[in-house]
Structure 1
């Protein structure tokens, strides 16, 4: 392969995992989970264009979702320079933003390490949980490798990588430690309402019910049981949710990758064009590269 493989490259778990179509459902699950941290969700609602009206009285709901997808895609498949610049831009924006606790009047920066760490951990946990439950063939060692790789993404948003969980045991310990801080606040319920019915023009309301609502419902169902209790909304039994995730995974993965990757933001197509056909992501490459991905070869490893 010729060209810059970026921060991860085709020998990483990240390269293959993030190309899976179930990442869209996993991303919505991450938003649901992130909203349960009172300080974190307050920072989003007070600063995001998805929840604030602009001068024309509109909310940029889909713009926020697409910007998040673009950021993850740039970090995963962009050149090293593009990824570093995207991270610097996010750090710069966050550095200028604050939120206010309405109960105490406290004003705090939204780039507090604890808040950034929560957002990161909720995101990577959602990616792993949804993709594995939907049938993505990832071993436990590869899952640990993925979490270790994602410390690089944590660095780009302003965290010390050594303070971020780098395997499943550390991630589980982190969630056990932070669970007492989580709550189903009014702000969390605002996010819930937003994700169930994002604002769309009136002619698109039927399409939202047909196409978007099943995505949001499945993402919510994939949350852990404590999240359902905090939101106060029931969810199907875990076994039912797992069956629905596997069905969704089979249907979405049946769409040819060349067609899927043409949808915005098209990072995978650009990466393959830059590096050549051998860089195409695929689960078969994870199976065939188990020795590399289990850590016996550090070429292309962002920490190796």
Structure 2
């Protein structure tokens, strides 16, 4: 029986046994399930600034966990070996929510404050993030999500009470460019507004030559973000050749600093990254 996955704007209609666009959700017996549940492809203790989060427990570390799959198709993805892969194309090990929280607690002496769901697109594995985050909260651990923000409103709202901080990728400010990535700008904007109203949020925008490197676009983006809250930190980061854009040149450092100065006309906290 065909079933619609309602987790993200793609709303994939899946036949029995079929896997969705994200490569991580499947119709099994008329139910949409997460086939990457607990299948961890990356686990590391990272500085919180690497997420990047600059205004949330600066100087601390966080246990970062990722799986496989993504619901966007960014041709410059730096984690493409897991985000653009399916179960058969990755090496993973199963870590239950209970075990992940236990591992996070073990790293408290190393400056760990909690768990970051990151590396691939964590929200396509919504159920795992939810289950881990609820257990982590019980143990007074912090939950951080690094996401493209392209998730349905109902699921996003249900997660909000369990998440302490978000870093949301705002991949430009043009509907057309978001369409090229198979994303939805308006959905991301809506979720940024919701996250900012309930907790801590920081935004990352990658400056890709001939895609997101104009002053006009950064002006529109930062002006809109200021209308949400002028104190939201914005990370303007430098592009390096990756994945299907390996023949492109890296973004000039001068461009990153120039566009960061444009954003500072609207926002109090703007940081240059990867420079």
Task: Choose between structure 1 and 2: higher helix proportion.
Answer: 1
Q: From the CA coordinates, give the structure whose radius of gyration is larger.
A: 1
1 or 2, which has the higher strand percentage?
A: 2
TM-score, normalising length from structure 2? 0.31
> With CA pairs under 8 Å and 6+ residues apart, which has the higher RCO, 1 or 2?
1
- Normalising by structure 1, report the TM-score: 0.29
